[in-house]
Structure formats: structure tokens, C-alpha cells
Structure 1
Amino acid sequence: MKKLSSFLFQRSVIVAVLIILQATVLLVPMIWAWSYYVYVYWACVVLSLLAVLVIVRRQTDPGYKIAWIIPILLFPMFGWLVYLLCGGNKLSARMRRKMQGMDRTMLEQLEDDYKAKKLSVLGQDAVNQARYLEQYARCPVYTNTWTRYFPLGDDAFPAMLEELKKAKHYIFLEYFILAPGVFWDSIVEILKEKHAAGVDVRVIYDDVGSLGTLPANYAETFEQETGIPCCCFNRFKPVISIRMNNRDHRKLCIIDGHTAFTGGINLADEYINQKPRFGHWKDSAILVKGEAAWSMTVMFLTMWEYIREIKVDYAALRPTALPPEAVLGKDCFVQPYADNPLDNEPVGETVYLNLISKAKRYVYIMTPYLIVSDSVNTALCNAAKSGVDVRIITPHIPDKKLVFELTRSHYQPLLEAGVQIFEYTPGFVHAKNVVSDDVCGVVGTINMDYRSMFLHFEDAVLLYQDPTVLDIKADFLATQLASQKVTLEQCLERSWPRRLFRSILRVLAPLV
């Protein structure tokens, strides 16, 4: 009885019940109008056709359009209503002003740092990639930055604690998931000590990401108990709305504006293998020390301004000195970048597409989910058909079974084109890495799926001609040795009902 009571009063269960009640309320008028079925039906058909025309006109991924058009036409009685509530991406005037404010601030604070032309020593492709991120993500490329790659969250954990203890001016944390345990509790103790010593400490977490790990009022309680400013992004409400899909999936740990961590790890124990969930948890992270960390600081501060609706004095927070390690990266190019789902620019997808299409010898990808758009699928296939060594590592033990089926539904066309796919046998891969030609590498939060590329706030670090690129490659090859290769024969051996199910999942993938 105690377990049942605990389950029923979980925040996620209560929210689910409220959403079901709201859906029921929306259907009641339609049921009431059943006596006028013919008129209601044709009115709904007209509304559904109008919704389809709106979708066709939208500048978005073709797969996303198809995923909406099919159910709308199959269920014209309510398909248009579901799209109206969940499928649009029209911003209110207030939201548009806030988004424009974030973009304007990024430009104001970082434009003077633009230096894409300096990458001419690496060729025009590198210049074009850096220029794209400067012009459309407002994120400069930097030198004088040293980086260190961590092939596991287990390795990043002690390094994060060590760097946090060195903080003299401020600590900013922005994470998708916070969860009580060894990882988060260890960090909280340091945050309390630093806050008491006068260090400026701020915390952001995503409300949906932490739905199952934190109570609804955690931000307020944490701030009251510790005095540390804390807020949650886009508080989850039991409302059927597209806005609830826009989550803060970033993972940023900023120290004094000159040191920063990002990558796949959240501040929860499974990410450092202290809490087994899906076998061995294979994740990654990167430490950035030097000029480039300021760009990541601005990413955090623009989000802080957005949530708190306050103005930040950026000049007072910009570091006046760099850590001694920065000089080790004086000849390297490091470009942290952020992706905003509300600006209609698919930055995360574009960077991946550029790396794949420009690769000359190889491109290696590690991702927890392989739910790619037609554009990415075509780029991967074309690269493999052109003789580029394309390899992808995904998990063998899934965290979500339906999403795992969706990932596997993308295997066959890639294998037929010559892409090599491996599944990490010991457990779950959560790293989001891309490395190509011993020249470029990406470590960040951006999954190979629709949510990361089109719905979430994300971040990553792009490296050019940095020694860390070879560390990312070495980690991929070591992980491949612990993985099993997927063959085309295995895909074709599946029963026809399962293959049909996977085909349906692929069509609806953008909605999952």
C-alpha cells in the first residue's frame, strides 16, 4: 500500500493525470456536437486541410511535415486540433522579444571576438564552418584555449570537483538533470562553501529533465536553504502545448569565466556509474580552459537573463586573466556553440551535416539515439558511398525501448550504403561525439535525434586541429572494441510485423 501511495503521488503521475483530464475536456464539446456529425465532420476536414497547407508552407524538416500531415489526414476530426495545440512554433510577441534579446546580447558580447578568417591555415572548409557559427549562432572561434577530453563521467567527476574548489569569483551551473546522490551532493557542498566565501553561485536546471528526481518546488527550497540563486527552466505544466517540448538540454559548468565543462553528463549518479541503470554508462565530457570559456559563460548568462528577466553586467564578469594552461592551446582553434530551437536555425544539425559532408577519410559518431532527419541520413549514405569510412556507435542496452526500436529502424538504409554500425555491448552510450579526419571533433549535448536538433536548447564544443581531437578518436576506437557490429543480414532477418512497426515509427519519428 505504501509503494502504491508513493507511486500515485509522484509528480510525473499527477501531471500525466492532469493532461489526460485536459484532453478529455477538449473532446467533450466534440462529443456533445455528435448530433450534428455531418456538419462537424466537414468543418473538421476543412480545418485539417488548412492545417496541412500551413505545415507545407513552414520552413522546417520535410520529415517533420510528413509526420504531422499523415495523422492529420487519417484523423481529420481532431488531428487539426492536436496540431494547433502541439505542432505550431509561433511565438507570442513577448516570447519573440525575449528570444531576440538573447540573440542581440550574444552578438553584443561576442562579436568583437569573431576571427573565422584565422582558420584559413586549415582550408576554406574550416573558415566557412567557423563563419557559419559566428553569423548564425553568434559564437566565435578562439585560440589560447587548452582542452581536455574525458571518456567517462567517472573521469570528469573528480576533475569538476577540483576546478570548482578553485573558484574565486563565480560558479554557474546549467543542467538538464539534477538528482540527489554522490555527484550532486558533492557539488552542493562545494557550492555552499564558495557561496559563504562570497563567490557568486547560480544554478539552472530543466524542470522536465528533473521531473522524476526533484520536487516541484526544489528551486525555491534550495535557494531559501542555501541562499544560492536557483531557477528551473520552462516549469512543466499539465498543459497540452508545444512550448512544453522546448527543454534546456544544455550541460554547462562555468568557473570564473575562464574554465568550463560540457558534454553528455548530467549531475546524477548514473552518469558516473555510481548508480547502475542500463549496464555500464558510457558518457563523455570536455574541459575548456582559456578564452573560449567566456563564450560558454555568455551562453549561461543569456539564459539566466531570459529566465530571471534581469539585466547582467557582462563587463564585470569577463575574466581579466587566463589560467596558465591556456597558453598550451595558443595554436589550436576552439569554438563552443549553442543552439536555440526558437530561432528557426538548425545549428546543431548543420554542424553535423558539414562535418559529414566535408569528411575526406573518415567520420566517427557516438550517439545514444539515431533518429536522424532525411538530410542527415542522406549525408551519411552519400559519404559512405563516396568511400569515406563512416562508423556509428549506439547503445546495446536501451534507456527507452520504443526509442531504441526507432534507432534500429534507421539501420538498414545506412548499412546498405556502407555505413558501419556498432552497439556498445556493456551498456548504454550517452556520449554525443563526432570526429573526422584527425582534424575536427565535437563534444557536447546534441543527440542525433529530432528533439536535440529542433526542439531543445543545446550546446557543444567544436575543435579544429586540437590534440584533443585525437583523444576523441582514440576513445571511439576503444569503445568500438567493446561493441558488437550490426550486420545487414540481422536487419533483414526481422519478422515482417516488426519491420512494418519500425517503418511506421520512422514516419512518426519527429513526433516521438
Structure 2
Amino acid sequence: MNVNFVLILDIIVILNTALAFVTVFREKRDIAATWAWMLVLVLLPVVGFIAYAFIGRKLPKNRMFRLQRQVAVQLNERLDQQREQLGTEIMPADKISHSVINMVNMFMETDQAFLARKNRVRIFTNGHDLFHTMMEDIEGAKSSIHIEFYTFYNDQIGNDILDLLVKKAAEGVEVRVIYDPWGSMGTWKRFFKPLMDVGGHVEPFLGVRSAVIDFRLNFRDHRKIVTVDGKVGYVGGFNIGDQYLGRKKKFGNWRDTHLRIVGSAVFSLQARFMLDWNATDRDHPFVDDRIDSRYFPITKVKGTTSLQIVSSGPDSDLQQIKMGYMRLIQTAEKSLWIQTPYLIPDDSVLDSLRIAAMAGIDVRIMIPDKPDHAFVYRATQYYARQLADDGVKIYYYHDGFIHAKTMVIDGKISSVGSANMDYRSFKLNFEINAFIYDEQIAQQLTAIYETDIRNSELITPEMFDQQSAYLKFKQTASRLLSPIL
């Protein structure tokens, strides 16, 4: 009997291992993720395959290609017209600082992200101020309101914004909303029925109606985009939900960073929304003859900010935002200040950070002092400990939860957006960031960072060494899964 049991167990192990090899190696992925999945599938029979069904499968190629097609050609033609009509508002790359010419050219080449100049940019770090201003802009909309968020919760602020959208749609304004069903867990499409009843259009990203029937945890729409009349745009880290206003006891004060943009950079936000919409909704797409000045109006703005709107996602292997982060790190001469809720860099980014710190650059990384995802937070702590050993200053933010995704280089160049400093944002999620070439904006972000330091604690290598053996074990174990977190 015992011999039979051992034989059956051996057969199960062999079959499980063989199936794990077939499952993992049949799809192209980087070697770190490949072996991380092998570890999960081999050591956790059955359970590992259930986990793979949720977070391991790749995005179907036909869906990926659909993100590239639709009205992309027409949008590019339209944006070319904007460049010509705006003249000096859209300047060639050789007119900006030499230190960032290569990065500007890189984004132009990899993401067709033109350099938008003379924008007005306002920074928000408080949800109450952000949503008040955003709702004022929505209230004043005359033509179109386009909204795309990872999270759109059915709570107080979610209902407040929905009621306003219903009002504007009833007035004849075009209202379109994209939300991610996983990020908006608990918000069903019937929540948006009042908006759809008055002519608004609402779709879950890529047309998946519910998180319950969408088994993929990966390939989420993590972007946060709002455009109003094609003239005003928003991008950053905030989502729509009460927790982003500090109303959830678990997180307390919510510290995030978001931008309000007026100027030609809004064209890129509008174009990104339109591409995402057409990849999501086949019934009410943007079509060639409707891509007109109504969506891309010419606006003369007396702003001072030059920036590029850059998007990335699993529909491309280029990892444009990660490339931008690495270029910023390599550009730094004196200081490199980062805020991110999740610090799970791949080897290339990790090495870039280490090189910067060892070269004497003031590298600072601010992360939360509390988890919102257990494994992710322990992996974040692991990498924070490693970087602290290499001379990076690690700050734990104590005044609530810091969710900002910012980078400031030498007090001159900066990035604000939706992308975290982790594998998921680099490879698995659809993200969008603003890369900003304006010393005034960089100085504002620097001042904000310095204020946040007063609410933070510098965690030294010695303090990491004093952590319990059990905590270090959890961090190391979580790190093994970092390529798939």
C-alpha cells in the first residue's frame, strides 16, 4: 500500500513538473518571470496553476494588436496638424536642454510622444483640492468629457462625480468613461446606468464586464486620464474613491501627486484615451470622420512648461516608461529623489540606482510605512534594505499612505504619473506618465518632497539589520516572487 502511494505521488510530481514546463515555456517572457513561475507551479501543485490562471497568462495577441490599430493613423495625422498650426508652441528637440535631448528623441521614437511646450501645469497632493478643481472643470465642459481610471468606486466621491457626469450628459456633452473592473472591485456596470440612460458611454477596460469573470490580474488599465473639451487634462496617481480623500481608517491620510495640464500636452492625453476607448468599445468607437477639432482644439496658452506624455503597456515590448526612468537616473548629476508605493525594480533599474548612489549622487527613495498588499510590501522592504546597503537613503512615510509616483532629477527634470517603480508597472500594466522639462515644476516637487521628509523616518542599514529574522524571511520569500507580483 505504501509502495503504491509513493508511486502515485511520484507520478503526480512528474506530471505536475512536466505540465509546469509546458505551461511556462510555451509563452515568451523574461527569464526571471519564467523561473519565478516554475518555482510556484512546481512547489505548489494545483494551487500554483490556479494562481497562474489569474496572474500568469499573457494578453491575447489579437487584443494587443487591436490596441495598436483603430484610429492610430488618423490620430497621428491630427497631431501632426496641431504641430504645424501651433508653430513655436511645439519646438524641435534641439531647442531644449542638451542633457535631455536624447530622452526626448527616445520618447518620440518609441511612443510618438511629441514635445509639448508652453503648457500650464498645476500640482496637486491633496485629494480634496484635486477633486474640487476637477469637478469645476467638468461642470464647465461644453463639448466632451473623457475619463479613464483604474479605480472608480461606488462610494461618496464616486457618486458625486457620477451625478455630475449624468448632469453634463443630459445637457448634451459627450461623456465617455473607461474603468478597470479589478481596480474598481465592487463597482458593477449597473452603477453607471443613470449615466448611460442619458446618453453617456461607459465601458470596462477591454470590454470585460466584471472582475468575477475576468481571471487575469495582469494587464490592468492602471492609467488615470481626464480630458475636458480637449483643453484641460489630468494625469497622476489619484483614483476615484473615498480612500483617496483620506476617508478610510486603514490608510488614513492619502498622499499622492497629480497634475492638471492646460495646453498642447492635452492632445496626447486625448489621443491615448481615444486609442484605449477603441480597443475597449467596438459599438461606439471614435471613427475617422469624427476625429476633428472638437477633440483637438487649438488653444493659445501662456504657460512655461515643456513636457511629454508617455504611455506604456503589455501591447509593446519597449517598456517606454521604464526606459524613461532609467534615462532620468542616468542623467542625474547631483540628486535623484523618488517616491513610490511599490519598490520592486528589475535588475536593470536596480543596477542603475546602485550605480547612481555609488557615484556619489544623492539618491533618496520614499516608500510607505504600511502595506496595502502584503507580499508586495515585503518585497518592497527587501529591495529597500538592499539599496540602503548601497548608499541609497530610504525614507518610511508616516503620515498615512504615500501613493505618489514621482521622480525629480537635480531639481530640474521630473516625472509624475501612474507608473510605480516595479515589475508590474514596467511590463504588466497599462500606464501613463508626464516627463517634465521645467525647472520651476521640478523645484515645486522638490519642496513637496522636503515637506514629506518631515513626516518620514530615514531607515538606515543598521535599522534594517535589527529587523527580526522572521521579517527578513518574509521579505526574502516575497522577493523570490517579485517578477510576478
Judged with a 3 Å threshold, the aligned counterparts in structure 2 of structure 1 residues 167 and 250 are, in CA distance, closer, same or farther, namely same
Cα distance in 1 for partners of 2:254, 2:372 equals 10
Q: Is 1:507 paired with 2:480?
A: yes
Aligned counterpart, 2:298: 321
Cα distance in 1 for partners of 2:404, 2:172 equals 35
Aligned pairs for 1:443-482 (under 5 A) are: 443-482=416-455
Cα distance in 2 for partners of 1:175, 1:286 equals 14
Residue identity matched to 2:339: M
Cα distance in 2 for partners of 1:85, 1:147 equals 39
Aligned pairs for 1:164-183 (under 5 A) are: 164-183=138-157
What's the CA shift string for 1:393-441, capped at 9, x where partnerless? Answer: 1112332333222211112220111100111111100111111112211
**What is the TM-score normalised by the length of structure 1?**
0.83
Q: Is 1:71 paired with 2:40?
A: yes
Q: Is 1:99 paired with 2:76?
A: no
What's the CA shift string for 1:249-284, capped at 9, x where partnerless? Answer: 111111111110111111112212244431211111
Cα distance in 2 for partners of 1:225, 1:353 equals 46
Judged with a 3 Å threshold, the aligned counterparts in structure 2 of structure 1 residues 245 and 118 are, in CA distance, closer, same or farther, namely same
How far apart are residue 306 of structure 1 and its match?
A: 1.1
Q: Is the partner of 1:134 in helix, strand or coil?
A: helix
Aligned counterpart, 1:9: none
Q: Is the partner of 2:69 in helix, strand or coil?
A: helix
Aligned counterpart, 2:276: 303
Cα distance in 1 for partners of 2:439, 2:302 equals 13
Aligned counterpart, 1:138: 112
Which moves more between the two structures, 289-298 or 276-285?
276-285
Which moves more between the two structures, 402-411 or 81-90?
81-90
Please tell me whether the aligned partners of residues 48 and 79 of structure 1 are also in contact (alpha carbons under 8 angstroms).
no
How far apart are residue 345 of structure 1 and its match?
A: 2.0
Aligned counterpart, 1:89: 58
Cα distance in 2 for partners of 1:152, 1:84 equals 37
Q: Is 1:344 paired with 2:313?
A: no
Q: Is the partner of 1:504 in helix, strand or coil?
A: helix
Aligned counterpart, 1:18: none
Cα distance in 2 for partners of 1:166, 1:466 equals 31
What's the CA shift string for 1:310-369, capped at 9, x where partnerless? Answer: 2432224333331x6x2222xx31111211222222122111111112211111111111
Judged with a 3 Å threshold, the aligned counterparts in structure 2 of structure 1 residues 44 and 339 are, in CA distance, closer, same or farther, namely same
The answer for unaligned runs of 5 or more in structure 2 is 84-88
Cα distance in 2 for partners of 1:89, 1:142 equals 34
How far apart are residue 230 of structure 1 and its match?
A: 1.0
Cα distance in 2 for partners of 1:380, 1:436 equals 13
Aligned pairs for 1:225-236 (under 5 A) are: 225-233=197-205, 234-236=208-210
Q: Is 1:484 paired with 2:452?
A: no
Q: Is the partner of 2:115 in helix, strand or coil?
A: coil
How far apart are residue 215 of structure 1 and its match?
A: 2.9
The answer for unaligned runs of 5 or more in structure 1 is 1-32
Q: 1:194 aligns with which of 147, 156, 168?
A: 168
Please tell me whether the aligned partners of residues 333 and 463 of structure 1 are also in contact (alpha carbons under 8 angstroms).
yes
Please tell me whether the aligned partners of residues 176 and 210 of structure 1 are also in contact (alpha carbons under 8 angstroms).
yes
**What is the TM-score normalised by the length of structure 2?**
0.88
Judged with a 3 Å threshold, the aligned counterparts in structure 2 of structure 1 residues 102 and 388 are, in CA distance, closer, same or farther, namely farther
Aligned counterpart, 1:425: 398
Aligned counterpart, 2:102: 128
Q: 1:153 aligns with which of 127, 136, 146?
A: 127
Please tell me whether the aligned partners of residues 109 and 298 of structure 1 are also in contact (alpha carbons under 8 angstroms).
no
Q: Is the partner of 2:474 in helix, strand or coil?
A: helix
Residue identity matched to 2:203: C
Judged with a 3 Å threshold, the aligned counterparts in structure 2 of structure 1 residues 69 and 124 are, in CA distance, closer, same or farther, namely farther
Q: May I ask how many residue pairs the two structures share in their alignment?
A: 469
Q: Is the partner of 1:390 in helix, strand or coil?
A: strand
RMSD: 2.9
Cα distance in 1 for partners of 2:176, 2:157 equals 17
Aligned counterpart, 2:340: 367
Cα distance in 2 for partners of 1:179, 1:79 equals 30
Aligned counterpart, 2:86: none
How far apart are residue 442 of structure 1 and its match?
A: 0.9
Which moves more between the two structures, 384-393 or 369-378?
369-378
Residue identity matched to 1:504: A
Q: Is the partner of 2:396 in helix, strand or coil?
A: strand
Please tell me whether the aligned partners of residues 116 and 127 of structure 1 are also in contact (alpha carbons under 8 angstroms).
no
Please tell me whether the aligned partners of residues 165 and 195 of structure 2 are also in contact (alpha carbons under 8 angstroms).
no
Residue identity matched to 1:396: D
How far apart are residue 222 of structure 1 and its match?
A: 3.7
Aligned counterpart, 2:352: 379
Cα distance in 1 for partners of 2:252, 2:54 equals 38
Cα distance in 1 for partners of 2:315, 2:71 equals 11
Q: Is the partner of 2:445 in helix, strand or coil?
A: helix
Query: As a proportion of its length, which structure holds more helix?
Result: 1
Q: Is 1:291 paired with 2:264?
A: yes
Residue identity matched to 1:375: S
Please tell me whether the aligned partners of residues 337 and 460 of structure 1 are also in contact (alpha carbons under 8 angstroms).
yes
Please tell me whether the aligned partners of residues 144 and 295 of structure 2 are also in contact (alpha carbons under 8 angstroms).
no
Please tell me whether the aligned partners of residues 340 and 406 of structure 2 are also in contact (alpha carbons under 8 angstroms).
yes
Residue identity matched to 2:199: G
Residue identity matched to 1:67: A
